[in-house]
Structure 1
Amino acid sequence: MSLRHGLLGLLAEGPASGYDLAQRFQEALGPVWPARHPKIYAELARLLEAGLIELESEGARGRKSYRVTDAGLAEVRRWLTEEDVDHTLRVEPLLRSFFFWLMDSEDLDRHLEQEEKFFSDTAAMYRELAAAKDRGDFGTEPHNRSKRISIEAGIRLYDALAEWAEWAREENQR
């Protein structure tokens, strides 16, 4: 996903500031697609210049709120329907696993224990988000159903990685 299309998609939900957009990214996508404030603000400037978003308001301390334009909505829909999906996953823990043979067994065991905890904790965080969405805390609008689907992917991904780390730790202890 490009940050550009992620921002357009989030703005399709409703107007938001750069800060609000960073919060929305962090809510469900933070562990898999981080979006830092400087990159968000730079991309918002490019989207504004391209006519894909427009300034809705400017508040105190220069806080700007943006909304997607018809052209921006058409662009995110084009991206969703016409562009091939990039299935590349850059998962550093898996790259590191290729070189586990360079670690001594004790260090590797400690590392894998930490990885399993991180992955389990992250899956639990996604479960809490899912529970809030399932209770209806976030409404039933189509964009919220899509968020729930995305959250479920996070649960399943991090559960699988936690299971992998547990399995790898058992392999290391043989």
Structure 2
Amino acid sequence: MSLRYALLGLLEDGPASGYTLTGRFDRSLRRFAWSAQQSHIYPELNRLATEGLIEVAEEGPRGRRTYALTDSGRTALRTWLLSEPKPHAVRDERMLRIMLISALDPPEARAQLEKHLSEALISLDELRTWAAAADADTTHPRGGLRYGRLALELGIHQNEATISWARWALTRLDETP
């Protein structure tokens, strides 16, 4: 159900083709919030157009369509954003592995924690780069809120917390007989 709202949200930033939206998913939403394949995006765009939440703003060569958000789509997005999220089942394989890490020998556990730390450091650098690019773009009327700037900052803080935790966990592992 949230795929439709992800698409409406991405179109809120301006008209885009299905190809462009797929790229936006791959670059931003997929890693941190929502996963969608091209085979899911195009049918959902058709449903949204049928429901009047988006419209074809332009048709190009080879049937390429650029979609734009309608007023009804903007209203639907706002309604969804202001509603309470539905409870969801948690399925976080990384967290499960961390919870069960004591089943490993200390050198194996250390290697897993170091990998976790390394991934968080890489992700933090990437997010900071994206945040700097978003901050440098002054052409959008919402300024720093464009491209999910607030979500980027949340990701930055989460990675900083993960880095701090991983360093703490490595220290604890060293202190354990």
For normalisation by structure 1, the TM-score amounts to 0.86
The Cα of 1:86 is off from its aligned counterpart by: 4.8
Q: Which residue of 2 aligns with 1:7?
A: 7
RMSD: 2.2
Q: Which amino acid aligns with 1:113?
A: E
Say whether 1:151 aligns with 2:128: no
Q: How many residues matched? A: 172
Tell me the equivalent position of 2:134. Answer: 133
Shift in Å, 1:16: 0.4
Asked if structure 2 preserves the Cα contact closer than 8 Å seen for 1:132 and 1:138, the reply is no
Report the Cα distance in structure 1 between the residues aligned to 2:97 and 2:69, rounded to whole angstroms: 40
Q: Once structures 1 and 2 are overlaid, which stretch shifts more, 50-59 or 70-79?
A: 50-59
CA shift digits 1:130-165 (9 cap, x unpaired): 11222x235342164252212111101111122222
Q: Which has the higher contact order (CA 8 A, sep 6+)?
A: 1
Distance in 2 (CA, whole Å) between partners of 1:21 and 1:27 is 10
Aligned-partner SS, 1:110: helix
Q: 1:87 to 1:169 in 2, by over 3 A?
A: farther
Which TM-score applies when normalising by structure 2? 0.84
1:49 Cα offset (Å): 2.3
**1:47 equivalenced with 2:57 (yes/no):** no
Per the alignment, do residues 114 and 36 of structure 1 end up closer, same or farther by CA in structure 2, a change over 3 Å counting? same
Percent identical among aligned pairs is 37
Q: Distance in 2 between matches of 1:63 and 1:171?
A: 56
How far apart are residue 100 of structure 1 and its match? 0.9
